Amino acid sequence: MWIGDEMDEKKTTLFEHLQELRRVIIISLLTLFLGMVISYAFLRNPLMTIVFNPIKQFGKELVVIGVTEGFMVQLKIALIGGIAIASPIITWQVMGFILPAFYSHERKVFWISFCTSLILFIAGIMFGYMLVLELGLRILLFEFTEGLTVMISAGRYLSFFSSLLLPFGIIFQLPLAAYLLGRIGIVSASKLRKKRSYVILAIFLLAAVLSPGGDIVSQILFALPMLLLYEVSILLTAIFGKKT
């Protein structure tokens, strides 16, 4: 085979990959748009109940302070629902694109890791919604608003809601990351224990950045689960980590 033929074959293969990537992106975007339409048309009220019920149960009514704020809030909630609806198809498309590059034994590890990561992400969101959100609202709305009239816009609350819950889904990936890194010998339980003081400082700095309110209460609500998950990561690494 001539060098020119090899170059043409590589170009053809690259073009085919780009075409496949283009197809995956188009299908994913169309699926997301369809999911948003379905959420806006049929699931808008249930989703709004889920999002706004935590603050309404304290007797606080939300207000709209901009002409387009009400519509934008509903559109963002529809986007959240659309992502949930479209995620299985989008995941299937993405997996179909990247998995052929893996060997068969690597695919098994990848699927196990992916499913575990998804479960941990959902668990983190549920943890934040069922425990941290209510506690945070209770403290922030009643302990620090004495003598003040509380008026919260729907848009500001939705931003607080999403910026509080999403990081918990990411934070809950820590044990999985520690397990995988421990299995291949990059980290060990002894190393994690030695770095504990630095990690605690980093966790509180990270909590200061991630906390939506920027107040000490929000920072503590973020930091405590991360500290617990770090200890769980040490335990998992000690049990399943690569023995040296």
In this predicted model, what pLDDT tens digit does every residue of 103-119 receive, in sequence order?
A: 777 778 788 888 888 88
Alpha-carbon separation of residue 220 from 108, 169, 210, 216, 224 (angstroms): 38, 17, 11, 6, 6
**Whole-angstrom Cα distance, residue 167 to residue 76?**
18
Please report the pLDDT score of residue 2 as a whole number.
44
Q: Which pTM was predicted?
A: 0.77
Identify which of 70-84, 185-199, 215-229 has the greatest average pLDDT: 70-84
**Whole-angstrom Cα distance, residue 134 to residue 124?**
15
Q: What is the mean pLDDT of residues 91-96?
A: 83
Half-sphere exposure of 129 (CA within 13 A, CB side): 14
Q: From the centroid of its chain, how far is CA 88?
A: 15
Average confidence score pLDDT of the chain: 82
Please report the pLDDT score of residue 1 as a whole number.
46
